[in-house]
Amino acid sequence: MTRVSRRMFLRGAGTAALTLPYLDYFAGNARAQTASTPKRLVIFQHPQGMVMDRWTPSTTGTGFAISDILAPLEAHHDKLLVLSGIDNLVRRQMMRGNAHNPAARSLLTCFPYAGSMNADGTVKAAGNQVENGAAFGPSIDQVVASRMGNPTRFARLDYKVNGMGVGENQIFWGENQVPIEAESDPGVAYARLMNEIGPVEVTEPTFGDRIRAHRGSVLDSVLGGFDRLLGRVGAEDRSRLNAHAMLIRDLEQQVDAPIIESCSPHTLALPSGFDFASRDFDNTSAPALIDNLVLALSCDLARVATVQFADGHAPTFGWLDADVPGPWENWHDMIHSGQNDPASVETMVQCQRWYTQQFNYLLDRMDSVVEADGNTLLDNSLVLWISEFGNAGVHDTRTLPVVIAGGLGGQITTGRHLSMAGHTTGDLYSTILNLFGHEDQTFGLTEPLNGDTLNRGPFDLS
């Protein structure tokens, strides 16, 4: 059986879409899966928050209406748990320095900078705090990983999209205030995994594989057909056609997940001239790194993995027909200054939907891996998507955009949107620890400087 991963096709303005060369194709070489299916934690993070009123679903509960920004996830609706209203209040303990460092350091650790902590575990008075530095404690992923012991070849795997420095967006922290480093070169990451998996048989892609890979180009032409028709119909019909055309544009941006059995290596296919360090290739790096992450999990080379969009400063989203940075200096400025400019807001929504598409690709891939217990890899995992800000325009770390996907082996009731107003990131992480079999009632800092309640305890997601 041939398996092909359809990668990104860049929609060129009036030119042929850029298709990636297909090198060779690996047939399945599935290693026998162990009988017990392990539980996995995946964390997916993008910087600079969301246009929150376009992110938040308008209804709560089962069968919630998917929101504008989350629309590309519709196919996974029933495997999603959208949690709105969760606050990171630890950032309010961090009194000095720019707004980005404290948000990132505290996001997954629930601790301030190490240099702002007293020896007894309390926070220093504002005047004695440092302006920057390492997070005092490990991030939730590290806590989960280290408590697992060392069951797999890699204790954790960490990927970041974009080779430029993480800097103020360093969110993953190990023990002893050491930052977790992430790999951004899909080739290096792939080679490292394949080195463990060993050689696999090579087969040719079928015409079916290749016509699928050519989808982006065909859709581009189909949209030409829509443009022609739009001018000939009445207003109501036009809005029907426009809605359909918008979905086709989303589809063009989507990379398509092949059906794979457990631990079936894909082929790494990167376009000539690919440069993981260049912002122009984020749209190729992201699915390539996600493919690696899914390969590692499906082959049980790791049970904790992260993927991060490291660059919050000046991503260009050049592969979208998006006006970035518009009248502003860069993406960061657009986020901060474009809040009241409707055109900029639309551009932000469009770009944030791109993050959704990447998350959707991760879920597509994870949901296509069928494991020994008959569930998909996604069903056996907890995938957390979070950003360090809610409304990034004002550096607000409250009401973060939080999505959990997958049921962690049936422990989580998905297909819901819950309003979690009043709960904190500490509660979210103690919940995750409980789901992984631990009994923590708090996570991170427990003694705030001000009157904030940092931990109300884990909540029930069953």
Binding footprint of another protein on the chain (CB under 8 A): 16-17, 19, 71-72, 74-75, 207-208, 210-212, 214-215, 217-219, 221-222, 224-226, 228-229, 232-237, 240-241, 243-244, 247-248, 250-251, 254
Judged by CB, which is closer to another protein: 190, or 385? Answer: 385
| β-bridge mates for residue 101, sequence order | none
Q: How far is CA 443 from CA 7, 75, 438, in A?
A: 39, 33, 12
CB of 353 to another protein, least distance (A): 11
Judged by CB, which is closer to another protein: 194, or 241? Answer: 241
- Check residue 232 and report its DSSP letter: T
Q: How far is CA 452 from CA 94, 123, 424, 427, 457, in A?
A: 13, 13, 10, 13, 14
CB of 242 to another protein, least distance (A): 11
Judged by CB, which is closer to another protein: 1, or 343? Answer: 1
Q: How far apart are CA 384 and CA 39, in angstroms?
A: 14
Judged by CB, which is closer to another protein: 124, or 212? Answer: 212
CB of 244 to another protein, least distance (A): 5
CB of 261 to another protein, least distance (A): 20
Cα angle value 156/300/76 (rounded, 5°): 90
Judged by CB, which is closer to another protein: 150, or 207? Answer: 207
Judged by CB, which is closer to another protein: 12, or 422? Answer: 12
Q: How far apart are CA 459 and CA 462, in angstroms?
A: 9
CB of 79 to another protein, least distance (A): 13
CB of 363 to another protein, least distance (A): 13
Q: How far apart are CA 436 and CA 42, in angstroms?
A: 13
Query: Which residues, including other chains, have CB under 8 Å from residue 226's CB and lie 6 or more apart?
Result: 241, 244, 245, 248
CB of 181 to another protein, least distance (A): 36
CB of 11 to another protein, least distance (A): 12
Judged by CB, which is closer to another protein: 211, or 372? Answer: 211
- Would you state the structure tokens that stand for residue 241, as one six-digit string? 């056609």
Which ranges of 150-271 does DSSP label H, i.e. alpha helix? Answer: 186-197, 207-213, 215-230, 235-253
Tell me which residue of 273, 227, 251 sits closest to 18, measured CA to CA. 273
Tell me which residue of 96, 59, 110 sits closest to 397, measured CA to CA. 110
Place of tokens 């597509």: 364
> Pairing mode, if any, of strands 304-309 and 400-405?
unpaired
Judged by CB, which is closer to another protein: 30, or 241? Answer: 241
CB of 243 to another protein, least distance (A): 7
Judged by CB, which is closer to another protein: 203, or 217? Answer: 217
Q: How far apart are CA 404 and CA 240, in angstroms?
A: 31
- Give the Cβ contact number of residue 211 at 10 Å: 10
